[in-house]
Amino acid sequence: MHTREEKLEAFGRFLDILDELRVKCPWDRKQTNESLRPNTIEEVYELCDALMKNDTKDICKELGDVLLHVAFYAKIASETGDFDIKDVCDKLSEKLIYRHPHVFGKVEADTAEKVTENWEQLKLKEKDGNKSVLSGVPNALPSLIKAYRIQDKARNVGFDWERREQVWNKVKEEIGEFQAELDNMDKDKAEAEFGDLFFSLVNTARLYHINPDNALERTNQKFIRRFNYLEELILKEGKDLRQMSLEEMDAIWNEAKDKGL
């Protein structure tokens, strides 16, 4: 791997290129925080796709795209005198040192769970107790990830099941309440109960150390692979999916499963 000097040189070269683009490129010159924001969201999702596929070449490329956006926002701020990339790095370094007293201080934490618990307690101290435990969960997070983060933050202050097996009774209770509202034909209440059921399933995943977002995305990708197989096979046979019976499609679907798709 590269030396520290080589890494610093590469980062400096990147910053020099960004400075030049900001001056000489019409597109880069006109960008603002507001105009970049949608692109940033897209780049983060593209990085997530590469991470899910464990494609190291693509991960490297997408990390570069995300880094560009981090540096770009800092560049824009430097032009107004608010802060620059050095301030970003300094604040991050200070935060990492403060929140890792088990590394840079005298606190003991021999498990990842204890580190996370200490991290949350330190974050609350930073806020001087003026903000709630859940205030650090961004409103813009996708609902599935938000549910996981809400539950995780609540756990860090002791609001959790004593034993993870206890969550199954809650899941069964929520299924029953959802089914009852479906039977009552009350769509609004059924939607609310389905949300409760979904929340309890996310909680179950958390308690069993499963990331629900990763799990659902794996299923999404599996469905896509199998459905694409079904569609391609039907097209090769000159047929139309809409003209096939469910039994015929199920047979091909099971064939895709047998092939490990």
> What is the percent of the chain with per-residue pLDDT over 70, rounded to a whole number?
96
Residues 233 and 202 reside in one and the same domain: no
Residues 222 and 204 reside in one and the same domain: no
Question: 248 lies in which domain range?
Answer: 214-258
pLDDT at 128 over 60: no
* 8 Å CB contact between 105 and 121: no
Q: Give the lowest-confidence range in 115-119, 191-195, 204-208, 245-249.
A: 115-119
Look up the CATH number of the domain holding residue 164. 1.10.287.1080
Residue 128 lies in a domain: no
**DSSP codes, 139-196:** TTS-HHHHHHHHHHHHHTTT-S-SSGGGHHHHHHHHHHHHHHHHHTT-HHHHHHHHHH
Query: 78: pLDDT confidence band, cut at 50, 70 and 90?
Result: very high
Residues 54 and 20 reside in one and the same domain: yes
Q: How far is CA 156 from the centre of its chain?
A: 19
Total count of domains within the chain? 3
How far apart CA 189 and CA 185 sit, in angstroms, is 9
- pLDDT value of residue 126: 67
Residues 239 and 194 reside in one and the same domain: no
Residues 12 and 39 reside in one and the same domain: yes
Residues 6+ apart with CB under 8 A from 192: 181
Tokens matching residue 108: 């003991």
Q: Convert the pLDDT of each residue in 182-225 to its tens digit.
A: 999 889 999 999 999 999 999 999 999 999 999 999 999 999 99
Q: Give the lowest-confidence range in 3-17, 72-86, 130-144.
A: 130-144
Query: 81: pLDDT confidence band, cut at 50, 70 and 90?
Result: very high
* 8 Å CB contact between 207 and 152: no
Residue 8 lies in a domain: yes
- pLDDT value of residue 129: 53
- pLDDT value of residue 156: 79
> What is the percent of the chain with per-residue pLDDT over 90, rounded to a whole number?
63
- pLDDT value of residue 42: 92
- pLDDT value of residue 92: 95
Residues 194 and 248 reside in one and the same domain: no
What DSSP state is assigned to residue 80?
Answer: T
Residue 238 lies in a domain: yes
Q: What is the pTM of this model?
A: 0.67
* Mean pLDDT calculated for residue range 109-133: 69
Can you state the percent helix, strand and coil of the chain, rounding each to 5?
80, 0, 20
Residues 76 and 23 reside in one and the same domain: yes
Residues 6+ apart with CB under 8 A from 207: 161, 164, 167
Residue with tokens 């899941």: 171
Q: How far is CA 128 from the centre of its chain?
A: 28
Residue 99 lies in a domain: no
Residue 156 lies in a domain: yes
Domain termination site, one of 66, 82, 98: 82
Tokens matching residue 236: 């090769």
Query: 104: pLDDT confidence band, cut at 50, 70 and 90?
Result: confident
Tokens matching residue 160: 């959790």
Query: 12: pLDDT confidence band, cut at 50, 70 and 90?
Result: very high
Residue 12 lies in a domain: yes
* Mean pLDDT calculated for residue range 68-72: 98
* Mean pLDDT calculated for residue range 48-75: 95
**Torsion from C-alpha of 21, 25, 31, 36, nearest 10 degrees:** -70
Residue 114 lies in a domain: no
